[in-house]
Amino acid sequence: MSPATPQTGTFAEVFRAFLKLGLTSFGGPIAHLGFFRDELIARRKWLSDSDYADLVALCQFLPGPTSSQVGFALGLMRAGWRGALAAFVGFTLPSALMLTALALAASRFQALPDSGVLQGLKIVAVAVVAQAVLGMARSLCPDAPRAGIAVAALVVLALMPGAFAMLAVIVLGGAAGLVLCRATPQEPALAAFPVSRRAGGAALLAFVAGFVLLPLLAPLGHGLAMIDGFFRAGSLVFGGGHVVLPLLQAETVAQGRVAPDLFLAGYGLAQAVPGPLFTFAAWLGAVGDLPPNGIAGAVVALLALFAPGFLLLVAAFPFWSALRRQPRAQNVMQGANAAVVGVLALALYDPVFTSAIKGKPDFALAVLCFVALTAFRLPPWVVVLAGGLAGVALPVAA
């Protein structure tokens, strides 16, 4: 295990590197990790391959936006806390600005919810989520116990929907994993990560305080309720950025804050921009019916959604080496990740499929988009643009 790279970089250096990545990193979190390795590990030599692999393993272990967490950690290792901030802002800003601008335009043109473009974007969302479910099922449910946990989670949520039910099935999935799954302990690593136990403990305390206190404060105002909803969603995103879809749907559409059509249209647009999928929060915050909305809503939603993952990452740094040696911790995460597959599979049906597919032409376009993503491996942004344009013709075809 090689020691961590000393903090030799600057805020400007880290910001420039991640701004470039934020403008060019298409394709979702796995692709983002490849872009990070090419630019920062292979070319700039910020970290060794072994350290980078262990950092990725840590971020995949924790809830939150994996690629953004890896970027935050790389910035921290390169230039301290200022580097972490530079990495977050540089990687997030391009897509957040684009989605906020599109959301503001959508709110001004009331005809958008009835447009064929929006219908096409909703249909593309069906294909994107179906691809995510398929990929996650293959990687996170490769055996009978984990497949059973996923199906059980789907059944429970079908009978008892809601944000708190999602939390319950993820917790129960972790408990089932402790009994049913078997993991191999890993060798310790990242021992030299520049975060003290005191800082890690403070971050954990801040996370717990937010998770426990925000639901109590939510009835005091819509702004607090909005922060609570996005913070809770960000706390439960295990297994990939697409998992945020059902969580945010429960906290926005189900609560009457965002129209269902605008929700799915924004999710489709989020596939067409570079950077982290979590910037979908900017769209939701901006198009909300109640204040804070617009630019203020976009900022509040973004910070509330990203904060839990970053707090948990900082909290884990000083303890990761010891935790990684515990097979039980790995078993719990295997079970929780399997439950997440069931959560996303149900979301593929409701609200994604039920809201987007109105007839046979819609279904045919969804299948075409799915094949384009999975068999032909076209970039998501290409499929999004094509689907949006094809949606214009659907009312005529129907």
Mean pLDDT, rounded, of the chain: 86
pLDDT of 194: 76
pLDDT average, residue stretch 130-147:
89
Segment 198-205 mean pLDDT: 94
pLDDT for the residue 379: 83
- The mean pLDDT value for 181-193 works out to 60
Mean pLDDT within 228-244: 84
The pTM for the full model equals 0.79
Render pLDDT for 20-47 as a digit per residue (tens, 0 to 9).
Answer: 999 988 767 767 887 888 889 888 989 8
Of 13 and 32, the structure prediction assigns the larger pLDDT to 13
pLDDT at site 3: 43
Mean of the pLDDT values across residues 156-178?
Answer: 87
- What is the percent of the chain with per-residue pLDDT over 90, rounded to a whole number? 45
pLDDT at site 69? 95
Say which residue, 243 or 269, is predicted with more confidence.
269
pLDDT more than 70, % of the chain: 89
- Whether 116 has a pLDDT exceeding 80, the answer reads no
Q: Mean per-residue pLDDT for 109-138?
A: 77
The per-residue pLDDT for range 281-310, each reduced to its tens digit, is: 999 999 988 889 999 999 999 999 999 999
State the pLDDT at residue 98. 95
Provide the pLDDT confidence category of residue 120 given band limits of 50, 70 and 90: confident
Check pLDDT > 60 for residue 51: yes
Q: Assess whether pLDDT exceeds 50 at residue 2.
A: no
What whole-number distance in Å separates Cα of residue 72 and Cα of residue 115?
Answer: 38
* Per-residue pLDDT at 396: 47
Spatial CA neighbour of 299 closest among 310, 288, 289: 288
Judged by average pLDDT, the poorest of 271-275, 300-304, 326-330, 345-349 is 326-330
* 56 pLDDT above the threshold of 80: no
What was the pLDDT predicted at 6? 52
Least confident of 14-18, 65-69, 97-101, 382-386: 382-386
